[in-house]
A and B are shown apart, each in its own frame.
Chain A
Amino acid sequence: MITLISFEFKKFFSKKKNIIIILLLFLFTLLFILLNNNINSDKKESELFSLEEHIESFESSLEELENDYENFKDEKPTVANNIKKIIDDHEMQIDILKRKKQGLISGDWKESLKSDIEFDKYTLEGKKDGTIVGGEDSNIIEERLEVNKILLEKNIKPIDTETSVTAWNFMKLLVKNLVPLIIIVLILLFSSDAVSSEMDEGTFKISLLQPITRNKIILSKIISYSLICILILTVLFSAFFLGLGIIEGFGSSEYPTKYYNGSFTNYFGNNAEDGVEYIQIKKFILYIIPFLILLILAIVAISVFISTVVSNSLAAISISVIGYISFFIINSQLGMVSKIAHLVPTTYSNIPLLLNGEAIVIYSNNNITYINGIIVLLAIILIFNTSSIFMFRKKDIL
């Protein structure tokens, strides 16, 4: 068995097709980094400009309010008092924004962060007492406020978590943005001709004519392709993690990351502690790793099964890739199967969304949890691998 597995490794890395896919994988990841880095720089550059505009808008509004106040203070004192209150609010907001501006200019992120916290607190209070209407949703402000408080308390420099390519945050972004479609499709390209290519080329005759059971032959394929895909992604993730860490910095491993603890507690019926909390990003990544491994194993199990059933290499690859993309679109974009989404493996392809509870909101399905994901993926691995072994045992190799 070990001989067969090591030979599979040799064959895999000797095929031009696989080398091209590996290069594509690295290229896509690199492009993704460059794109995010670009967006991140643009955002940083425009932040000061947008802040200045914000201040100007407040100041112009303040000027008008002061005129109004002068006009009404003698004739309609009640109205004037209300205007005075708004003027005070404006002055306070301008003061906060100016301090933030000062922080940005001087590079004092703490000052900037304190201003953000103060501003959000002020906005939330205004929303509660009705003096501020519209704008951002209170939940969003509350979440940001909580994160910013943790950052200040733990002395962590804030980053834009949607675009920052500091090493720790990049890991999360990679799993969130590239794994669900591009990386899974590339894994399918690797593994969906594992069996069919040997049938196409007639090379199965070599191993099948040896005194070894067919079970061992197909099992060695499943194990090898699973290990190879895990190995490639490990190298990819590690290389970019270290590379970005050196170039862009690692960022804080304790960066607060939104996490839906119902993922665990829901399953055991303990809803008392259900809800969102903020865990360290390293812990978040730690939760991602075993799930990602299971996801890869499930994808390989499905594609090896297709490869066993469909003897033609090109047909097997096409069915796997087109099938997955179609399923992905139907499931995630059209939401046509939201009621049974927790039973569909593609639902679990975006692990960060699963961990922070957003998958539940997207699919409107409370059963999409970390534990349920593990159960579904394990079932997929078991069913498809057993089917592959069973099919291959009786398959005619023409």
Chain B
Amino acid sequence: MNVLEVKDISKTLGRNKILKDISFSIGKGEIVGFVGPNGAGKTTTIRTITNLIFPDSGTISIFGYDLIKERENALKNVSAIVENPSLYTYLSGKDNLELVRKLNGISKEKMNEIIEFVDLTSRINDKVRKYSLGMKQRLALAMCLLTEPKLLILDEPTNGLDPTGTIELRNILIKLSEEKSISIFISSHILSEIEKICNKIIYIKEGQIVITKSYDKNSKLKMIKLVIEDSVKLDSNFKNAGLVEDYTIIDNELIISLDIDNLSKLLNYFAKNNIEYSNFEILNSKVEKEYAEIFGGEK
């Protein structure tokens, strides 16, 4: 049984049809990225699957429970941060956590552990309005983790986090997925982060799912791009040499997919065969490449 099953949901806000028959699913322990340009419908999708807004049509089931008809059961094992961390800024961090703790019948000891885990112990009694954005993100994450959810839904969770915070969050999410089999649905603009933690990425454009791709986040496969002077020299031996997984050549631009360990061997191969090249570039991310192919220059 899938943890989250979304079938044909549509939503119109005002005159705009924001979501158009969206369907996707998340399995147990999966970390699924949700990627698309601004206005593609990411946040509306997240609001819909957390029952903040109601779909015009379609069904959403979480752990087999219909979200609309069996809201309490469906949300029992779900935690989410939707858009910015929404917190009662005029209350202390502890007060905010207390609400979630009491509503879910969680012990104080567990709450203190989580406070320590997100490194807010020294500031937990301060009013939230005195927190930095990063601290607010950590508090919101603490509120999510407090209930020990089986499905974690995060909308732009790295917003406001510094590089250290981003790395910490990434490690936390990977750990939660691996050790506790928590499924995570995460939307983010930072494609390199998405690539590092996700098994699957759903690309959304203009309210429609364009494609869903699976990834091996531990893969050593990298993309490189270079310009070669004489493409005729790349004969069939190049592919047969076993140095590259795949390659495409457009005009003189060569894009190669290869195991990063084979890079030096490839460069030797070029030297041995007198293949001159320039503008050598390791493409940062496969996801970035695919994103660029799907969305062009959109952000």
- Chain B residues, CB < 8 A from A394: 54
For chain B, the bracket of interface size reads 20 to 34
Tell whether, in the assembled complex, residue B88 and residue A11 are in contact, meaning their CB atoms are under 8 Å apart.
yes
Q: Could you give, for residues 46-88 of chain B, a 1 whenever the CB lies within 8 Å of some chain A CB and a 0 otherwise? A: 0100111110000000000000000111111011101110111
Report if A203 contacts B (CB, 8 A): yes
Q: Which residues of B contact A4 (CB under 8 A)?
A: 103
Residues of chain A contacted by B143 (CB below 8 angstroms): 206
Q: Are A3 and B103 in contact (CB under 8 A)?
A: yes
Interface residues of B in 1-39 (CB under 8 A from A): 13
Instruction: Tell me if B100 is interfacial: C-beta within 8 Å of chain A.
Output: yes
Contact between A14 and B90, CB atoms less than 8 A apart: yes
A211 to B149, CA, bound (A): 11
| A202 cross-chain contacts in B, Cβ below 8 A | 83-84, 86
The residue in chain A whose Cβ has the minimal distance to the Cβ of B82 is A205
User: Do B99 and A203 have beta carbons less than 8 Å apart?
Assistant: no
Interface residues as binary, A317-361 with B (CB distance below 8 Å gives 1, 0 otherwise): 000000000000000000000000000000000000000000000
Query: Is residue A182 within 8 Å, beta carbon to beta carbon, of the partner chain?
Result: no
Chain B CB within 10 A, most for which of A3, A205, A213, A214: A205
**A396 in contact with B86 (CB, 8 Å):** no
- Tell me which residues across on chain B come within 8 A of A205, comparing CB atoms: 50, 52, 80, 82, 86
Question: Is A76 interfacial (CB-CB < 8 Å)?
Answer: no
Nearest-CB distance from A204 to chain B (Å)?
Answer: 8
Known A11-B88, A206-B87, A209-B80: A397·B53 in contact at CB below 8 Å: yes
Is A201 a contact of B86 with CB atoms below 8 Å? yes
Give Cα A207 to B99, complex, Å.
8
A28: Cβ under 8 A from any B Cβ: no
Contact of B71 among A14, A15, A204, A213 (CB under 8 A): A213
- Complex interface: chain B residues within 8 A of A210 (CB): 75, 100, 103-104
**Contact call B83/A211, Cβ cutoff below 8 A:** no
Q: How large is the interface on A (under 10, 10 to 19, 20 to 34, 35 or more residues)?
A: 20 to 34
Q: A205-B82, A209-B78 known; A16 and B54 CB under 8 Å? A: no
Chain A residues 343 to 398 lying within 8 A of chain B, measured CB to CB, are: 394, 396-398
Closest to A206 in B: B86
Inter-chain contacts of B88 with A (CB < 8 A)? 11, 14, 203, 206
- Contact assessment for A397 and B104 in the assembled complex, using a CB-CB cutoff below 8 Å: no
A211 touches B96 (CB 8 A): no
Chain A residues whose C-beta falls within 8 Å of the C-beta of B100 in the assembled complex: 206, 210
Which residues of chain A are within 8 angstroms of B87 by Cβ–Cβ distance?
Answer: 203, 206
Point out the residues of chain B lying under 8 angstroms from A16, CB to CB: 90
Is B272's CB within 8 Å of the partner chain A?
no
Find out whether the CB atom of A397 lies under 8 angstroms from the CB atom of B52: yes
Compute how far the CA of A32 lies from the CA of B86 in the bound complex, rounded to whole angstroms.
Answer: 42
Check if B52 sits within 8 Å of A211, measured CB to CB.
no
Task: State A205–B86 Cα separation when bound (angstroms).
Answer: 7
Residues of B within 8 A of A203 (CB): 86-88
Contacts of A204 in B (CB 8 A): 52, 86
Chain B residue at minimum C-beta to C-beta distance from A214 = B71
Given contacts A205-B86, A210-B75, A396-B47, 10 further A-B contacts (CB under 8 A): A7-B99, A10-B91, A202-B84, A206-B88, A208-B51, A212-B72, A212-B103, A394-B54, A396-B13, A397-B53
A residues near B (Cβ < 8 Å) are 3-4, 7, 10-11, 14-16, 201-214, 394, 396-398
The 6 closest A-B pairs by CB, nearest first: A396-B53, A202-B86, A3-B102, A205-B86, A211-B76, A211-B75
What are 18 sample pairs from A and B whose C-beta atoms fall under 8 A apart? A4-B103, A201-B89, A203-B86, A203-B88, A205-B82, A206-B88, A206-B99, A207-B99, A208-B51, A209-B78, A210-B104, A211-B103, A212-B72, A212-B103, A213-B72, A396-B53, A396-B54, A398-B52
